[in-house]
Amino acid sequence: MAAVAEEQICMRCTRPVALAPEDYELFERMHGVCFHYDFEHDADVDADCGVPGCPSGLLPPGAPGPAAQQALADVAGALAGGWRVEPQGPAELLLTRGGDVVRVLVAEG
């Protein structure tokens, strides 16, 4: 872990913050994640609040298994008629149709 200046302590969780000093100030002297939960996250902490990049949201796994990849391929095939389908790595599809943009993430259950 990178060395952290001693004065950069998170106001919310009291742990050291490794952000650049300007980002530390931007996030009200907190971790970016702590700032999100304090000021932006209007939902159960374990639930995705809908803000893009919410830490409680589903993140695509880096290496989905064969079944997950097949499911994603099947979804892409089923949607190919109406949507423009662009794979975004092994676990994610970006769908666009008209002005709508939808991300489909796959994860093992």
Positive or negative: CA dihedral 24, 28, 33, 34: positive
What are the DSSP calls for 8-76, one per residue?
-B-TTT-SB--S-HHHHHHTTSS-HHHHIIIII--S-TTS--SSTT-TTSPPPPSS--HHHHHHHHHHH
User: Whole-number minimum distance, CB 30 to Zn ion, in Å?
Assistant: 5
**Site mask, Zn ion, residues 14-53, x = CB under 5 A?**
-----------------x--x------x-------x----
- Of 31 and 72, CB closest to Zn ion: 31
Residue 54 within binding range of Zn ion, rule CB under 5 A: yes
- Give residues 76-105 in contact with Zn ion (rule: CB under 5 A): none
Residues forming contacts to Zn ion in the complex (CB under 5 A) are 10, 12-13, 31, 34, 41, 49, 54
